[in-house]
Structure 1
Amino acid sequence: MSEALKAKLAELERRFVEQAGEHRQAIAGAVATGNRQDLAERAHKLAGIAGMFGQPEIGAAALALEEVADSGSDPQPAAARLIDLLGAL
């Protein structure tokens, strides 16, 4: 892997970590307002990118939240788990 690519990936990972607070707030807001579509879309996005940055646990929690949001079940426990993991970054 070239140094330029390594630097770009490191920059993307840094931004992922920096945006964790925004993701946490958005997820909490979607749960509070009952916006399942927004919740599922945000969780789907996080599930897709978390693994790229060495965060498989966040990816799995996001996937679980997406599934819950799509199923109509109570998203609070899955959302709380994802919010906690994002807070630990």
Structure 2
Amino acid sequence: LTVSVVVAAKRENITHHQHANVGDLSSAHGFHTTTSTSYYVTFLVESGDRIELCVSGTEYGMLVEGDTGRLTFQGTRYLSFERI
């Protein structure tokens, strides 16, 4: 589906996970932490509806609040944004 939209908002969700070091069930030898970041963009459709989709870090960096263009998505899956 392709619709005309405005980029309304952007947000990042950073998650930290702490794990016991490999082979150390007691945690006596410490932990290591992994971090993951998810990127979300909210698009405002002409009807006034808002759609929030998860995008790659590259796409996130290229989109600016206020950008106007054509959003292509399938269900909740972001496919592309073409700036007008």
What TM-score comes out, normalization by structure 1 length? 0.27
Give the structure with higher Rg (CA).
Answer: 2
Higher strand share: 2
Query: Normalising by structure 2, what TM-score?
Result: 0.27
Specify which structure has the bigger relative contact order, considering alpha-carbon pairs within 8 angstroms and separated by 6 or more residues: 2
